[in-house]
Amino acid sequence: MSHEFLELTSIILNIAPALDYTICCETLMILIILCESYEDASPLLCQAWYDPVRIDKCQVWPAIAQLITTSFKSENSNIEIYNETLMYTIATMAALTYPSQCLPDELLEAKIKVANSLTLKLLDSNYSAFREVWLGQFRTPKCSSNILTAMYGMCLSTPRFSALIFDGSFLSNELLSLLCGQITTEESDLDEAVELSIHISTAIIKQIMLQYDNNTRIDLRDQLTIKDDRKFEKLQPITGHIAQLTMSSQVLPPRAACALHLVYAIACGAKFLLNPEEYIDTLSTIFVQSECDVN
């Protein structure tokens, strides 16, 4: 039944706005629930659900693109339902593409492939309006974390998307503003949003500056050089703030993400005004707390 519903999704999303945006919201909520359910199912069922070929065949992304770029018409629904539809659209994109590190390898790879299928649409000039509306919702508190969630999966799926984020204004404006606490998110999403922002920044350094693939481990004893002629200075404000977060954050996942980011930043030649003893103590705390959580 779930696969049949997926096949009907694009039809529903294409005709529902002319009737009532509530139908769109309900359809998207069902998709999100199905994604959550399949992540607890067997690997075989998961891979069948997170199949980019099937999703493309069902025209899910074009339907979502049309929905998110359609102007609001007051005669069909009120503005609150329309804004809720945008929120659920962005949440659905995140549910289908986020490659959580808690997932088994088979499902992680499947979700990255789905993320790549969405990335190809967002990189297409014909979908530029879709991309702009999607990114434009970042300052909406209920949307920012889900945008980062999908963005992280897309950065992992191809360096082309990391390059798009690096070359645009999002990195130095929205991403830095969120890390500095200048963008409001849902309070329950704040720690995750910060962690995702750091991971996205790290992916950009690794893929664009150093041109490593996602599975490469860096040994700081090796002589590493920036292999892209783009200036690392553009990332310095973010990297500098992440260095501060390494010392000040009280939450384990963001602190661990900060420490990983600094490894790649140091490989690019970044220097930080950190007290070595305090930094080592911070790293030790991260490792000890990780061991406690595992045990």
The answer to whether residues 176 and 130 belong to one domain is: no
Question: Is the alpha carbon torsion for 166, 283, 185, 20 positive or negative?
Answer: positive
What's the half-sphere exposure (Cβ side, CA atoms, 13 Å) at 93? 34
Q: Do 235 and 171 contact (CB within 8 A), yes or no?
A: yes
N-term to C-term CA, the chain: 40
The answer to whether residues 140 and 173 belong to one domain is: no
Residue that is last in its domain, among 140, 156, 172: 156
Q: Do 72 and 82 contact (CB within 8 A), yes or no?
A: yes
Number of structural domains in the chain: 2
Of residues 210 and 241, the one with the higher pLDDT is 241
The answer to whether residues 147 and 179 belong to one domain is: no
- Between helix 21-38 and helix 79-97 the angle, nearest 10°, is 20
The answer to whether residues 222 and 125 belong to one domain is: no
The answer to whether residues 165 and 146 belong to one domain is: no
Task: Give the tens place of pLDDT for each residue, 140-181.
Answer: 999 999 999 999 999 999 999 999 999 999 998 999 999 998
- Residue 295 is predicted with a pLDDT of 47
Most confident of 34-43, 56-65, 94-103, 271-280: 56-65
- Residue 19 is predicted with a pLDDT of 75
Task: Give the tens place of pLDDT for each residue, 223-263.
Answer: 666 666 566 788 888 998 998 888 777 777 888 898 888 88
Q: Report d(CA 10, CA 206) in Å as an integer.
A: 36
- Domain, as residue range, for 53: 1-156
Tell me the pTM: 0.89
Q: Report d(CA 147, CA 143) in Å as an integer.
A: 6
Residue that is last in its domain, among 125, 156, 187: 156
The answer to whether residues 163 and 88 belong to one domain is: no
The answer to whether residues 209 and 228 belong to one domain is: yes
Task: Give the tens place of pLDDT for each residue, 192-202.
Answer: 999 999 999 99
Helix (H, G, I), strand (E, B) or coil at 293: helix
Q: Do 76 and 54 contact (CB within 8 A), yes or no?
A: no
